[in-house]
């Protein structure tokens, strides 16, 4: 039974094949324009950090009442590989590691299960703990970083401006995360005068408790009318240091102001949080990351255009500085590999034209853009971007592609030189290279069957001659030796089958 032959089908449906070729080339060009550009492929870090703080606890209490309880619950996590914990006085840190063969699509659900399981036992943990907090996003890449310095502005004023810039950056397409670096939290510091406290007969704890009650946010009720509802709020929350200084305290039957027993200062966290400097000057950094699968070159241009609009509206004294721009690195990396890819294509085409001739070389040359177009369409559909790994794979696959095309052309040329008609020569590669099956080929099946029959006949004659040589004249041995390939070439298949 004659099997399917793709080459023969393509010859008999030439118009449809030409349509498919043009379709894939056009679709490949459009897909190439839309493909994402990245420096390296994205990957999932299969580790999560669970951190819990218990201020004032000893290392034994933290280990037994926090770390052990959380670890026992996390042992139920699906795809779990192993747990690793680090316990210090008042601090419990647990590393949740999943198996290396965990599917990438299952990672978000696993981290959700971790959070859910910790929430189930949070009520059994000791009172006074802070957390647990989870970190599964430390693998994010912030490719664009700006530094903002201020001359004549406080750190708080600079932070307010950078916060507004952060909001504007989120309007850029494919902006995933925007974080501030080196921003310091503002705090009020109270330095108590112990002599004044002793003279009034009050303690620092009493004053601190009074301040907490004064600054507490509690519902004060609502006023309901026929048409509207008004929320009642009690004033007195702290907005500035002057508000803290004007607080009146009552103790031992006496009223006094907080400023009489303490010095109030406005400052920042001490010890400071991680700081950010640019050229040795204090600054606030703005780190921007791109969404997965985006085009780094287009994203970098969009951020630069947006920053130009923002800088035009900044007051004099606040200066932005570009610290890192991954789009430049990506352009160099992808550009270098793309250049190597086109150079490889040019070299292959030149060798094809020189070794195969003009007409055969054109066939090999046409196969390269056609296959690349199909690959680009598949890459866009699968979410594979242009980066160093995918471009390197394209360069390697290009050699295999051209090698297969050249083998097919050489086999077709050799068949034409042997006198085979063009259609059978074109379909010869399918039955001998792609899916070799001689019995299905209409032109060469009978010839190959005849050759196998001749070889089988020669083997039988030789075996019979050896047996006769042991007990009689070796005449048949001479006959078998005369059966050279040149003599057997003129035998007909009919004679071979009847012998």
Neighbours of 40 (CB within 10 A): 12
Between 410 and 479, the higher pLDDT residue: 410
Mean per-residue pLDDT over the chain, rounded: 77
**Sequence-ordered strand ranges (E) for 43-185:** 47-53, 80-88, 91-98, 130-135, 144-150, 175-181
Between 293 and 113, the higher pLDDT residue: 113
CATH fit for domain 186-268, picks 3.30.1360.30, 3.40.50.1110, 3.40.50.12160, 3.30.2090.10:
3.30.2090.10
Residue 293 has pLDDT above 90, yes or no: no
Residue 434 has pLDDT above 70, yes or no: no
Q: Are 284 and 162 within 8 A, CB to CB?
A: yes
> Long-range contacts of range 94-97, CB-CB < 8 Å, 24 or more positions apart?
94/49, 94/50, 94/51, 94/67, 94/70, 95/47, 95/48, 95/49, 96/47, 96/48, 96/49, 96/50, 97/46, 97/47
pLDDT of residue 492: 42
Q: Are 348 and 398 within 8 A, CB to CB?
A: yes
pLDDT of residue 95: 93
CATH T-level topology, domain 47-135: Alpha-Beta Plaits (3.30.70)
pLDDT digits (tens, 9 = 90+) for 77-130: 888 888 998 888 888 999 999 998 888 888 889 999 999 999 888 888 888 888
Give the domain ranges of the chain: 47-135, 186-268, 445-498
Confidence band of 370 (pLDDT split at 50, 70, 90): confident
Structure tokens at 278: 């640019």
Confidence band of 173 (pLDDT split at 50, 70, 90): confident
Q: Write out the DSSP string of 315-372.
A: PTTEEEEEEEEHHHHHHHHHHHHHHHHHHHHHHHHHHHHHHH-HHHHHHHHHHHHHHH
For 465-486, what is the mean pLDDT? 42
Confidence band of 475 (pLDDT split at 50, 70, 90): very low
Confidence band of 449 (pLDDT split at 50, 70, 90): very low
Chain CA centroid to CA 449, Å: 55
Q: For 228, phi and psi rounded to 5 degrees?
A: -135, 165
What does each C-alpha distance from 216 to 211, 237, 238, 267 come to in angstroms? 8, 8, 10, 22
Task: Indicate yes or no: pTM above 0.85.
Answer: no
Closest CA to 37 of 294, 264, 335, 313: 294
Provide CB contacts within 8 A for 48, sequence distance 6+: 95, 96, 111, 114, 134, 135, 136
Residue 275 has pLDDT above 80, yes or no: yes
For 118-143, what is the mean pLDDT? 84
132 cis-preceded (ω within 30 degrees of 0): yes
47-135 and 186-268: identical CATH topology: no
pLDDT of residue 487: 41
Between 55 and 335, the higher pLDDT residue: 55
Q: Are 46 and 102 within 8 A, CB to CB?
A: yes
């Amino acid at each position: 039974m004659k099997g399917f032959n793709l080459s023969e089908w393509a010859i008999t449906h030439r118009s449809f094949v030409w349509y498919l070729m043009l379709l894939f080339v056009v679709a490949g060009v459009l897909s190439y324009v839309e493909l994402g550009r990245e420096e390296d492929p994205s990957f999932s870090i299969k580790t999560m950090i669970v951190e819990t703080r218990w201020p004032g606890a000893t290392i034994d209490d933290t280990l037994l009442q926090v770390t052990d309880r959380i670890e026992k619950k996390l042992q139920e996590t699906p795809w779990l590989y192993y747990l690793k914990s680090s316990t210090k006085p008042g601090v419990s840190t647990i590393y949740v590691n999943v198996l290396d063969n965990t599917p990438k699509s299952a990672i978000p659900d696993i981290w959700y299960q971790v959070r859910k399981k910790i929430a189930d036992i949070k009520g059994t943990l000791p009172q006074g703990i802070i957390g647990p907090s989870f970190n599964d996003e430390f693998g994010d890449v912030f490719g664009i970083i700006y530094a903002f310095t201020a001359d004549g502005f406080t750190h708080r004023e600079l932070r307010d401006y950078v916060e507004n810039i952060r909001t504007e950056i989120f309007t850029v397409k494919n902006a995933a995360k925007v974080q501030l670096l080196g921003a310091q939290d503002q705090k009020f510091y109270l330095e108590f005068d112990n002599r004044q406290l002793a003279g009034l007969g009050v303690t620092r704890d009493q004053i601190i408790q009074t301040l907490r009650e004064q600054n507490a946010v509690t519902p004060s009720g609502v006023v309901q009318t026929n048409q509207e509802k008004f929320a009642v709020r009690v004033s007195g929350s702290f907005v500035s240091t002057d508000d803290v200084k004007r607080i009146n305290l009552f103790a031992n039957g006496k009223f006094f102001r907080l400023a009489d027993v303490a010095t109030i200062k406005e400052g920042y966290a001490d010890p400071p949080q991680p700081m950010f400097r640019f050229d040795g000057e204090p600054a606030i950094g703005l780190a921007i990351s791109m969404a997965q699968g985006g085009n780094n070159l287009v994203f970098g241009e969009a951020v630069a255009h947006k920053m130009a609009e923002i800088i035009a509206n900044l007051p004099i004294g606040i200066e932005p500085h570009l610290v890192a721009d991954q789009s430049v690195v990506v352009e160099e990396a992808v550009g270098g590999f793309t250049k190597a890819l086109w150079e490889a294509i040019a070299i292959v085409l030149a060798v094809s034209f020189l070794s195969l001739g003009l007409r055969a070389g054109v066939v090999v040359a046409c196969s390269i853009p056609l296959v690349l177009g199909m690959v680009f369409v598949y890459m866009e559909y699968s979410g594979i971007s242009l980066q160093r790994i995918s471009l390197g794979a394209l360069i390697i696959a290009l050699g295999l592609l051209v090698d297969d095309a050249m083998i097919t052309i050489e086999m077709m040329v050799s068949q034409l030189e042997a006198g085979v008609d063009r259609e059978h020569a074109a379909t010869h590669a399918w039955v001998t290279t792609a899916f070799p099956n001689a019995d299905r080929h209409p032109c060469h099946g009978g010839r190959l069957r005849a050759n196998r029959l001749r070889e089988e006949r020669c083997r039988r004659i030789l075996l019979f001659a050896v047996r006769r040589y042991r007990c009689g004249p070796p005449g048949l041995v001479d006959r078998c030796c005369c059966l050279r390939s040149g003599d057997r070439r003129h035998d007909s298949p009919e004679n071979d089958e009847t012998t």
